[in-house]
């Protein structure tokens, strides 16, 4: 199955899309060693501790990028999610381009109710943005599309980090 925007892509982009769609999992070497960080992340979020959440996310980013052999990225955790006209922004991935490294920005609170984001959706957002990084640096794709394969890779990482889910 392909998403409807596939039909509007050029032939070259369709090739990239299909390459992305064909990769279904991201095997994580020694993912178990990161489980301790996952439970710390859940409690930092519960306590609404932005500094600690950011520190733990940075440690998690180091653990994940080093295990997967991709460049480290910068990570920022901000307080309230910005709203765009269409939808609330959950996370953001920015390519390194002129900077020293790529950047992931995550938001702790929903714009509407200012509630802290639930742990699982926060971690999902983190992994979603990390999957964009993997598209460029692990799979060497020239573009990063939201394909079915992309969402499977996101889930694959999630289940290796939260095995009881
Ligand atoms: Zn995305």
Percentage, residues of the chain above pLDDT 90: 76
CA–CA gap between residue 26 and residue 155 (Å, rounded):
9
Cβ atoms of 56 and 40 within 8 Å: the answer is yes
Give me ligand 1 centre to Cα 146, in Å.
Answer: 6
pLDDT number for residue 43: 94
33-92 tens-digit pLDDT: 999 999 999 999 999 899 999 999 999 999 999 999 999 999 999 987 777 665 667 889
Q: Tell me the two tokens of residue 164.
A: 């009881």
Q: Does the structure show a pLDDT above 90 at 114?
A: no
DSSP state of 140: -
Give me ligand 1 centre to Cα 91, in Å.
Answer: 8
What is the average pLDDT value for the chain, to the nearest integer? 92
Give me ligand 1 centre to Cα 154, in Å.
Answer: 10
Q: Tell me the two tokens of residue 56.
A: 């733990």
Chain centroid, CA 30 distance in Å: 19
Cβ atoms of 24 and 16 within 8 Å: the answer is no
Q: Does the structure show a pLDDT above 80 at 115?
A: no
What predicted TM-score, i.e. pTM, was given to this entire model? 0.92
Q: Tell me the two tokens of residue 45.
A: 């979020």
Element (H, E) at 44: helix 35-46
């Amino acid at each position: 199955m392909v998403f409807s925007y596939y039909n509007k892509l050029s032939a070259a982009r369709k090739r990239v899309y299909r390459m992305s769609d064909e990769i279904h999992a991201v095997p994580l070497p020694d993912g178990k060693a990161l489980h301790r960080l996952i439970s710390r992340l859940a409690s930092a979020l519960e306590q609404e501790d932005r500094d600690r959440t950011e520190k733990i996310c940075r440690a998690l980013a180091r653990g994940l990028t080093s295990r997967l052999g991709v460049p480290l990225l910068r990570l920022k955790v901000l307080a309230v999610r910005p709203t765009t006209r269409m939808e609330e922004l959950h996370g953001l991935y920015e390519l390194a381009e002129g900077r020293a490294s790529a950047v992931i920005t995550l938001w702790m609170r929903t714009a509407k109710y200012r509630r802290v984001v639930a742990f699982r959706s926060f971690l999902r957002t983190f992994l979603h943005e990390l999957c964009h990084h993997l598209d460029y640096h692990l799979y060497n794709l020239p573009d990063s599309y939201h394909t079915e394969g992309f969402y499977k890779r996101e889930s694959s990482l999630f289940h290796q980090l939260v095995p009881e889910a």
